[in-house]
Structure 1
Amino acid sequence: MTREQWRKTEGFTALLLSTLAALLGLFWLVFILGDVLVHGIKALNLGLFIHDPTPPGVDGGGLRNAFVGQLLITICATLIGVPVGVLGGTFLAEYARGWKIARFISVLADIMVSVPSIVIGTFIYAVLVRPIGHFNGWAGAVALAIIMIPVVLRTTEDMLSLVPWTLREAAFALGAPYYKVITQVVYRGAATGILTGILLSIARVAGETAPLLF
């Protein structure tokens, strides 16, 4: 076998193995999704969304309180976390560029992204729930907001840093103050990336359960 034939054989083998691995993963994904649909489609009806859960042992009922509660907590967390994250990322990218404190905050945000959500839930329990003496939805919203803030902050900082500095200089040359340069020029150039980061953070906290256990 020549060297060229050997290379073709290696390439074909690698392609075959990669295809088989992809099909194997796709098979289990389709199998699990199909099993859930087959066994769960009969329980998917309007009552699931408009009725409250029934007592144990009683048939019927829905999950209205779970849907409404999760929606309200996610909205509250978004109203808290998104402004803080966007403004924090703006400060790091525009006002604290090159400062040591900016680098420290960026590293701290990266660490916070990796912190397990159960740790944040325990922290909020110790700081908010126990002093108040009872559980409340605001504690859950604050816990989810803490999870959102580093994601939005780092995304905003990165997206604003990618906006060419020449756009800022052009706005300065027209006599625009810095806050107008940021709000009317820089934000527009980075709007898509910032919005993506916000949506990713919302998607993450919408599926979190550990911070809400306490």
Structure 2
Amino acid sequence: MSSGATTQQDGFPNESIESSGFDSSNLIEKLLTGLAFFLLGLAILPLGLVISYVIVKGLGRFNLALFTEIPPTAMAEGGGVASAIAGTLLMVGIAAVISIPIGIGAGIYLSEFSSKKIAKWIRFATNVLSGVPSIIVGIFAYSVVVLTMDKFSTLAGGFALAILMLPIIVRTTDEALQLVPKDVRWASVGVGASSFHTVLQIVIPAAIPAILTGITLSLARAAGETAPLLFTVIFAQSWPDGIIDETVPSMSVLIYNFATAPYQNQQELAWAAAFILVLLVLLASALARWFGQKATY
């Protein structure tokens, strides 16, 4: 009797139950995986549509003149966005000079030298700053720089973009340094190096690829901002003259102005400029991903 019960217990009925249970869980797993891919496709679809539409509309004016000529006047034909590219690079360069040293220095202080209580509040303030709308940053830059200098200027535009770049650089630098293993620091201190030399010669070089990732992403964001520049510089088609010039062309403001213009030539240039900005953002994202893969801890 016991032998028969054992045989029945170890026989096919129980195996079929286990097999049926395995098939059911496998089916649920496949359904959830399919649902996840479907939702991922829905999330990516708007991005794909936007990029495709910009490429279709902007590719027709993608030629050499686009990068060598200045934007045309209202009813003129032809032209390009060369001066707007130069103005954008100038203001982003000013923003980088201001924000990168401050951001990296703040990130190093947070990760290596600050107390936990101070670091907690500074990280909170950085997170809040990263969520501030760009138009508020533009108003702040207008109040601090434009009203103080009593004029619009390239410097004011770069200052506004630097504020937008700063929290990204601080957060990525802080997180990059925290990812460096503690054992590396202890080994350096154990052979007689000071904390300052350990951070400067061991920790920072190990975190440079991740820090460069944050810098690249912040530059991409600054290049595409429009609202702060509406409060800090006056748009013009001519070439920029310097950091205190009142009239400075920029890609984002050119798109904002020309896209709503009643002239087809300017609308086409707006789409071409948008295409260039999309390419810059894609390039920056690719560089950020490449720098991130180079990080070794």
Relative to the length of structure 1, the TM-score reads 0.87
Matched residue type, 1:180:
H
CA pair 212-168 structure 1, distance change in 2 beyond 3 A: same
CA pair 46-192 structure 1, distance change in 2 beyond 3 A: same
Matched residue type, 2:183:
T
Give the match for residue 93 of structure 1.
Answer: 111
How do 1:149-168 residues align onto structure 2 when only pairs under 5 Å count?
A: 149-168=166-185
CA pair 41-185 structure 1, distance change in 2 beyond 3 A: same
Of 89, 92, 96, which aligns to 1:74?
Answer: 92
How do 1:22-171 residues align onto structure 2 when only pairs under 5 Å count?
A: 22-23=40-41, 29-98=47-116, 100-171=117-188
CA pair 27-105 structure 1, distance change in 2 beyond 3 A: closer
CA pair 205-38 structure 1, distance change in 2 beyond 3 A: closer
Cα distance in 2 for partners of 1:81, 1:113 equals 13
Matched residue type, 1:178:
S
CA pair 77-129 structure 1, distance change in 2 beyond 3 A: same
How do 1:194-205 residues align onto structure 2 when only pairs under 5 Å count?
A: 194-205=211-222
Percent identity of paired positions between Structure 1 and Structure 2: 37
Deviation at 1:15, TM superposition (A): 4.6
CA pair 104-15 structure 1, distance change in 2 beyond 3 A: closer
Q: What secondary structure is seen at the aligned counterpart in 1 of 2:74? A: coil
Q: What secondary structure is seen at the aligned counterpart in 1 of 2:98? A: helix
Matched residue type, 2:101:
P
CA pair 176-27 structure 1, distance change in 2 beyond 3 A: closer
Corresponding pairs, count:
212
Give the match for residue 227 of structure 2.
Answer: 210
Cα distance in 2 for partners of 1:78, 1:151 equals 12
Cα distance in 2 for partners of 1:158, 1:45 equals 42
Alignment gaps of 5+ in structure 2 = 1-19, 232-297
Give the match for residue 188 of structure 1.
Answer: 205
Cα distance in 1 for partners of 2:80, 2:160 equals 27
Q: What secondary structure is seen at the aligned counterpart in 2 of 1:213? A: helix
CA pair 44-134 structure 1, distance change in 2 beyond 3 A: same
Deviation at 1:35, TM superposition (A): 3.7
Deviation at 1:148, TM superposition (A): 1.4
Cα distance in 2 for partners of 1:47, 1:31 equals 27
Backbone CA RMSD of aligned residues:
2.3
Alignment gaps of 5+ in structure 1 = none
CA pair 180-14 structure 1, distance change in 2 beyond 3 A: closer
Deviation at 1:198, TM superposition (A): 1.3
Higher Cα radius of gyration? 2
